[in-house]
Amino acid sequence: MTGSRRGAVWSADGPAPELYPELVTLRPGVSAAEVAGLAPLPGSAVKDSFQDVDLAAEGFRQLFQASWLSLRREDLGPDPGGHCSRAGSADGLADWVVESGSDLEVPERLLDRPEFRAVLVRRGGRVVAGATVFTTAGFAGVSNLFAHEDPAIAWSTLAHHLLADPLTRAVGGYEHGYDLSAALAAGARELGRSPSGSEGPGRSRGWDQTPPDRPTPHAGAHAGGVRCRSGPWVAWTAGHPGRALVPALWTALFWAGGPHRWTIVSRGTASAGDRLPG
């Protein structure tokens, strides 16, 4: 994937891979007209890195606005208990998909990647929650979290499990709305938000030029009484099996590369190693 910096905006040379945007704002204060004028093709997606560009008047629709999260050992409350297990086989991965209540098609080859985990949380012998996790550079990125119980308890249990590894310094995530509230209740903090409530680079939003007659994707999914969430990622991955696994990797890479290092908006087929400017 190639592109160039054009003023305060990075622009792809053509259609971006799946789950990547064609445009990325690189500093606050960019005008909507400047961003829209750089769109390389109809249907372009935009990563509004600082959540300050209103593109509605330029024919874009907002997909989401959400927050990057951090949860470290000092943020942990009491351990709710429970047993966390990692899917280690194709059958175990299939069990994870069934328990999640989703229709994800999880590639079995992910089991060969040591940084990937599909985790199930059991309490009293019963599955109560689960998530996918990618770990890199001492940070564990959580995505596709689902819960049959209070999701704040699920977040706390998973964080205790992941931070039990002395090499893991923090657990990260990307959430909004109800799921953001659950993560914060578990001890997570919003990156980029000061005690006074002012915004910072830990909050961002995505836009696209999807035709207005196409329904806007919902931001959550419910199946069989199971809340299966990937933060705002569900909105992008609905109807595209397997895509929702990528955000957990990006969550982890966000920590390794810093804010705006890895994109959070989408089109085309993603390669986890494709790096955007920032």
| Residue ranges with strand state E in 22-150 | 23-25, 45-48, 61-72, 83-86, 116-123, 126-136, 139-147
Query: Is 224 in a helix, a strand, or coil?
Result: coil
Closest CA to 129 of 101, 89, 88, 164: 101
Asked if 237 and 154 touch (Cβ cutoff 8 Å), the reply is no
| DSSP labels, 156-198 | HHHHHHHHTSTT--EEEEEE-HHHHHHHHHTT-EETT--TT--
The number of beta carbons lying within 10 Å of the beta carbon of residue 54 is 13
Closest CA to 255 of 161, 176, 139, 177: 139
Burial (CB count <10 Å: 0-12, 13-18, 19+), residue 52: middle
User: In the chain, what's the furthest Cα-to-Cα distance?
Assistant: 57
Dihedral sign (CA 224, 226, 232, 234): negative
Burial class (CB in 10 A: 0-12, 13-18, 19+), 141: buried
* CB of 259 closer than 8 Å to CB of 191: yes
- Identify whether the C-beta of residue 233 lies closer than 8 Å to the C-beta of residue 247: yes
How far apart CA 51 and CA 221 sit, in angstroms, is 24
Per-residue pLDDT of the chain (278 residues; tens, 9 = 90+): 788 999 999 999 988 877 678 999 999 899 999 999 998 888 899 988 888 899 999 999 998 888 889 999 999 999 999 999 999 999 999 999 999 988 777 888 989 999 999 999 999 999 999 999 999 989 999 988 999 999 999 999 999 999 999 999 999 988 888 889 999 999 999 886 544 444 444 677 888 886 544 444 333 332 222 333 333 333 332 223 333 344 444 444 334 333 332 223 322 222 233 333 33
Q: Is 136 helix (H, G, I), strand (E, B) or coil?
A: strand
Contact between residue 170 and residue 139 where contact means Cβ atoms under 8 Å apart: yes
174-204 confidence digits (pLDDT tens): 888 888 999 999 999 988 654 444 444 467 7
Question: Length of the chain in residues, anyone?
Answer: 278
- Model confidence, pTM: 0.67
Is 141 within 8 Å of 115 (Cβ atoms)? no
